[in-house]
């Protein structure tokens, strides 16, 4: 009976999203559905909402999102990622590197318009060697590589927070590196190996110049990741330290910085995240999360497979953030031992599904840029995603073998 109620909550969320409403609306509607379907007392429901809004985890997450957006504005102002692409040209003179690493670097800026810049780079690197729909697939595929593992994306930060302390940001980033290598290799196997290596770029300066340019362009990102992964520094402190250092190194003036304080506050993102954290507390107060482990242990199907399928098809239908919000806490409650293996598998499933999801805005923008249908882009991406999912299940088994 409880599972049917939960399915009803899921349907409410999907229905709101399919009506082209913001995620914040879907989360608010789902919270109300939990209140009504689970017959929660009004006082308990209100207390859960307040707790979700004022707890330190929520405040910290909102602070992280603001600081990351602020840092993004600084990088955009100095053209850091574009300079990184120029450095790659000088270092490798490779069409394959341009078509893969350059979009992956630019993808670290979580903005829809980035896919258009990536499209121009891929066209220049692959014209005459790949068909138009294959170019679109390569653009979309490599532009989203960083969303698999990079610890500044909203979905990753929310998922880690919902893991109830079983997974850290640094631990997740390290655990995802093998799957990152697999992801890059799959793209090479299907498309990049058909492209000649030589890009015809004449490096007018020594290699040392381009290595320095690459380091100057990416040092903020490298510094942040090292603080988080190697030293276990909380994300908000690591990003803040990086911003302070970048102020000095980049010699930012007050006139340059002043607009960032307002533009870094993305109200829609902040409101959605706040509602997500409140919804998490409502689910916990309803007793849904604590009741599910016993239910899944009684099923003849392994729980990891059940959750993997839910995350994949749920993300295709409603987007990864929606399914992470609804199910990650339950999955972690049902996880054996530490839960890292299951967490990695589910994030891989959500990531893979988003490369096929019609609710993923970037896919529509990419298809429109190449003047092909969204269906054509998705069909070209399916084989790559299929191989990646098989690899994710194999990696899950390996992590479980080693006790993760």
Task: Render pLDDT for 200-250 as a digit per residue (tens, 0 to 9).
Answer: 666 678 888 889 988 888 888 888 878 887 787 888 898 899 999 999 988
Q: How far apart are CA 179 and CA 190, in angstroms?
A: 17
Tell whether 169 is covered by a domain: no
Tell whether 7 is covered by a domain: yes
Place of tokens 């309803």: 286
Contacts of 190 (CB under 8 A, 6+ apart): 383, 384
Contacts of 35 (CB under 8 A, 6+ apart): 45, 282
State the residue range of the domain holding 30: 1-39
pLDDT band of residue 153 (cuts 50, 70, 90) is: confident
Encoded tokens for 129: 């060697």
Tell whether 331 is covered by a domain: no
Contacts of 165 (CB under 8 A, 6+ apart): none
Tell whether 336 is covered by a domain: no
Residue with the bigger pLDDT between 150 and 182: it is: 182
What's the pLDDT at 221? 80
DSSP conformation class of 234: -
Are 392 and 149 in contact by the 8 Å Cβ rule? The answer is: no
The mean predicted confidence, pLDDT, of the chain is 85
| Count of structural domains, the chain | 1
pTM across the whole model:
0.79
What's the pLDDT at 381? 96
| Planar angle of CA 105, 109, 110, nearest 5 degrees | 125
For the four alpha carbons of 347, 348, 351 and 354, in that order, the dihedral sign comes to: negative
What's the pLDDT at 60? 85
Tell whether 20 is covered by a domain: yes
User: Nearest to residue 286, comparing CAs of 8, 4, 39?
Assistant: 39
pLDDT band of residue 398 (cuts 50, 70, 90) is: very high
- Phi/psi at 38 (5° precision): -100, 5
Tell whether 401 is covered by a domain: no
Q: Residue 319 pLDDT more than 90?
A: no
What's the pLDDT at 22? 78
DSSP string covering 131-189 = -HHHHHHHHHHHHTGGGGT-TTSHHHHHHHHHTTTSS-HHHHHHHHHHHHHHHHHHHHH
Most confident of 56-60, 84-88, 141-145: 141-145
Q: How far is CA 29 from CA 15, 33, 39, 42, 357, in A?
A: 10, 6, 15, 16, 22
Percent of the chain with pLDDT over 90: 31
Q: Residue 351 pLDDT more than 70?
A: yes
What's the pLDDT at 229? 74
Lowest mean pLDDT among 18-22, 203-207, 290-294, 352-356: 290-294
For the four alpha carbons of 145, 151, 152 and 155, in that order, the dihedral sign comes to: positive
Q: How far apart are CA 18 and CA 15, in angstroms?
A: 5
- Phi/psi at 94 (5° precision): -130, 125
- Characterise 164 by phi-psi region: left (phi > 0), alpha (psi -120 to 50), beta (else): left
Q: How far apart are CA 378 and CA 367, in angstroms?
A: 9
Mean pLDDT of 190-204: 77
Encoded tokens for 154: 């909203």
What's the pLDDT at 188? 94
Output the furthest CA–CA distance in the chain (Å, rounded): 71
For the four alpha carbons of 28, 32, 35 and 37, in that order, the dihedral sign comes to: negative
- 131: exposed, middle or buried (C-beta count within 10 Å: 0-12, 13-18, 19+)? exposed
Percent of the chain with pLDDT over 70: 92
Mean pLDDT of 58-78: 84
Residue with the bigger pLDDT between 140 and 374: it is: 140
Mean pLDDT of 97-103: 87
Q: How far apart are CA 180 and CA 383, in angstroms?
A: 17
Tell whether 378 is covered by a domain: no
Encoded tokens for 279: 């919804």
What's the pLDDT at 127? 82
What's the pLDDT at 252? 92
Lowest mean pLDDT among 56-60, 254-258, 273-277, 295-299: 295-299
| Planar angle of CA 186, 191, 197, nearest 5 degrees | 110
What's the pLDDT at 298? 67
Q: How far apart are CA 46 and CA 393, in angstroms?
A: 40
Residue 198 DSSP SS3: strand
How many Cα atoms are found within 13 Å in the side-chain-facing hemisphere of 265? 5
Q: How far apart are CA 237 and CA 71, in angstroms?
A: 13
Residue 264 DSSP SS3: coil
Q: Residue 326 pLDDT more than 90?
A: no
- Phi/psi at 329 (5° precision): -60, -40
- Phi/psi at 144 (5° precision): -100, 10
Most confident of 83-92, 204-213, 229-238, 251-260: 251-260
Tell whether 350 is covered by a domain: no
Q: Residue 296 pLDDT more than 70?
A: no
User: Nearest to residue 30, comparing CAs of 288, 313, 266, 353?
Assistant: 288
Q: Residue 293 pLDDT more than 60?
A: no
């Amino acid at each position: 009976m409880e599972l049917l109620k939960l399915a009803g909550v899921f349907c409410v969320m999907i229905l709101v999203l399919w009506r082209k409403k913001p995620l914040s609306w879907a989360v608010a509607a789902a919270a109300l559905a939990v209140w009504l379907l689970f017959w929660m007392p009004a006082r308990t429901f209100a207390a859960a909402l307040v707790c979700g809004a004022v707890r330190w985890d929520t405040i910290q997450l909102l602070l992280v999102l603001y600081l990351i957006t602020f840092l993004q504005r600084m990088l955009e102002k100095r053209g850091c990622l574009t300079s990184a692409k120029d450095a790659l040209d000088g270092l490798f003179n490779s069409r394959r590197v341009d078509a893969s690493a350059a979009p992956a670097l630019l993808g670290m800026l979580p903005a829809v318009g980035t896919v258009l810049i990536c499209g121009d780079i891929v066209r220049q690197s692959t014209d005459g060697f790949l068909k138009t729909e294959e170019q679109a697939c390569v653009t979309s595929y490599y532009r989203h590589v960083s969303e698999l593992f990079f610890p500044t994306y909203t979905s990753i930060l929310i998922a880690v927070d919902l893991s109830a302390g079983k997974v850290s940001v640094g631990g997740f980033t390290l655990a995802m590196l093998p799957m990152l290598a697999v992801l890059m290799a799959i793209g090479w196997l299907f498309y990049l190996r058909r492209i000649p290596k030589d890009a015809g770029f004449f490096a007018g300066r020594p290699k040392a110049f381009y290595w320095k340019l690459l380091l100057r362009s990416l040092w903020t990102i490298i510094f942040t990741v090292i603080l988080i992964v190697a030293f276990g520094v909380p994300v908000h402190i690591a990003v803040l330290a990086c911003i302070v250092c970048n102020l000095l190194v980049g010699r930012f003036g007050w006139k340059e910085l002043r607009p960032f304080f307002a533009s870094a506050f993305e109200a829609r993102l902040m409101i959605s995240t706040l509602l997500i954290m409140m919804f998490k507390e409502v689910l916990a107060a309803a007793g849904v999360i604590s009741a599910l482990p016993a239910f899944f242990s009684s099923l003849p199907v392994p729980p990891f497979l059940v959750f993997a399928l839910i995350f994949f098809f749920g993300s295709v239908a409603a987007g990864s953030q929606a399914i992470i919000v609804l199910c990650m806490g339950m999955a972690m409650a049902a996880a054996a031992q530490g839960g890292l293996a299951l967490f990695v598998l589910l994030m891989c499933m959500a990531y893979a599904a988003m490369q096929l999801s019609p609710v993923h805005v970037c896919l529509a923008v990419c298809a429109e840029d190449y003047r092909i249908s969204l269906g054509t882009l998705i069909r070209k991406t399916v084989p790559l995603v299929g191989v990646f999912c098989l690899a994710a299940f194999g990696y899950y088994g390996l992590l479980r073998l080693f006790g993760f």
